[in-house]
Each structure stands twice: as C-alpha cells, then as structure tokens.
Amino acid sequence: MSVRKLKPITPGQRFKVVNGFDALTADKPEKSLLAPLKRSGGRNSQGKMTMRYRGGGHKRRYRIIDFKRDKQDVAAEVKSIQYDPNRTAFIALLEYKDGEKRYIVAQNGLQVGQKVSSGTGSAPEIGNALPLKEIPLGTIISCIELRPGQGAVMARSAGTFAQLMAREGKFATVKLPSGETRLVLSNCLATIGAVSNSDHQLIVSGKAGRSRWLGRRPRTRPVAMNPVDHPMGGGEGRASGGHPRSRNGVPAKGYRTRSRTKETNRYIIERRKK
C-alpha cells in the first residue's frame, strides 16, 4: 500500500495526497452483490432535516458485505481486492467451492488466490474468521462480533485492529482500537489480521470540492451563528464563543456522555483513552 503526493500544477493539487490503490486488483464490482443505495440528504421520513451538512455527492451502489461469515467449513478463494465507496477499507471478493460469491472486508496482507475459511477448526491465519476461544492470545484481530451470530461490528474501518489479551471462563478480554479494554463472549467470531488500507489516514483531499463529492456540505462555525441558532453564537464583535458545546448544550471536551447505569458497563475493564 502506498500514497502519491501530486505535483502542485493547480491550487487544488498543491497539498493533495491520494491513495496509490496498488493493492487493488479489479475495477468493476461483482454485479450480483450490488444493491441500490438511496440518499437521504440528512432528512428523516417526515422530510425534516435531522442531520445537518449532508447532501449531494456522487451516486453510489451498495456492496453487500458478509459480516457474519456464516458459511462455515467451506473453503473460499480470494478472487480480487476491490475499492468500496461506502467504507474506508478495501473489500475482497470470495468464491466458495460451491460457486457462491461473497464480499468480505479485506485484511492487510490478503492476497489474490489465497484460501480463506471461517468457523470452528479454521487455522488462525490472515482472513480466516474463528471464535475468540480458538484464537491464540496476543493475536491481532479485526471485524469482531459483540453477540454470537450478530455479525462484525467492531474494528471494521481502514487500518484498525484489536488485540486478544486474555481468556477466563466464557469471556475473552479484547483491547479495542479506541484503547478500551472489554470482555467479549469467547464464542463470538473475529477475523485474523488488521483491516486493509492503513494509509487512509495519510490522505489529504486538497480542495473543498472533494468533500462535496463525498456528500458533505460546508459546515458553519457555531461562533459565527446567532444565539437563537447555537449556544456559542452571538456577542459583540468577534466573541470567543464561551465553553465549547454542541447545539443542544452538551459540553464538547472531556464531558462523559455514557450512562452510569448502562447494563454493558460491567463488561468494560478499562475505559478508552481521553
């Protein structure tokens, strides 16, 4: 994986850093695994804007990803590594022995032609999905379930990974990308290896127009608003805005918003880093 820094031929290319895409092996997606994706523009079912600064952007089609890895004890071959406009990570197209094709989130180091499998008894090799109780301690993992059969929900974005720290009883201790250490049921599935496209964090868009292509509209600074629009708005001249807080008045820095009575608090051994 690599990134390319462009020559400053135009103002938009002066600081632009783009992905080299050298890990990709196919341009066209698998048609049978595409689904339509309707844009909401930040509006709910009543047509009211509930999320600001959304809208526009290039038309996309959703790639149906197999997060559950429930086709077990059947070997699959990696046919290609592809780009997915709906996520930061790359995806891999698998073809099973019976001819079925599925997309999975690609791990770093996954190669075309490699054999992968899922379920109990799979080898702890890159791209294989197996229960936490069968993964060696200290292994780098990603695409982790929180409940058995739910499908991967944690450590799915580009370059992220977790680490299996310990096992005791029916729980395994996992250190998550946020720095949080928590207990996860040891019969939950996880995939071996870190998620692909780790260079995603180095990318610099170079111009505002690229944000518009992604469906992001310009954001108004709260300090520039009126008091009726935001707690940080108003004041004579260039007022600093007071304590940083959200539009609803929730403090933005250091304020803990997690409920103290949340049932899953007992599974958290160490909170994420501040």
**Tens digits of per-residue pLDDT, 241-255?**
889 999 999 999 999
| Per-residue pLDDT tens over the stretch 72-107 | 989 999 999 999 999 999 999 999 999 999 999 999
Q: Give the integer Cα–Cα distance in Å for 110 and 128.
A: 10
The residue whose two tokens read 């799979």 is: 122
Please, are residues 197 and 88 in contact by the beta-carbon 8 Å criterion?
yes
Give the C-alpha distances (Å, rounded to integers) separating 114 from 76, 125, 156: 8, 11, 21
Q: What mean pLDDT is predicted for residues 185-209?
A: 96
Query: What percentage of the chain reaches a pLDDT higher than 70?
Result: 99
Three-state SS sequence of the chain: CCEEECCCCCHHHCCCEEECCCCCCCCCCCHHHEEECCCCCCECCCCCECCCCECCCCCCEEECECCCCCCCCCCEEEEEEECCCCCCCCEEEEEECCCCEEEEECECCCCCCCEECECCCCCCCCCCEEEHHHCCCCCEEECECCCCCCCCCECCCCCCCEEEEEEECCEEEEECCCCCEEEEECCCEEEECCECCHHHHHCECCCHHHHHHCCECCCCCHHHCCCCCCCCCCCCCCCCCCCCECCCCCECCCCCCCCCCCHHHHHEEECCCC
pTM of the model: 0.92
Q: Report the chain's mean pLDDT, rounded to a whole number.
A: 95
- Residue 239 is predicted with a pLDDT of 87
Question: Percent of the chain at pLDDT above 90?
Answer: 95
The predicted model gives 135-160 an average pLDDT of 97
Structural domains for the chain: 3-201 (2.40.50.140)
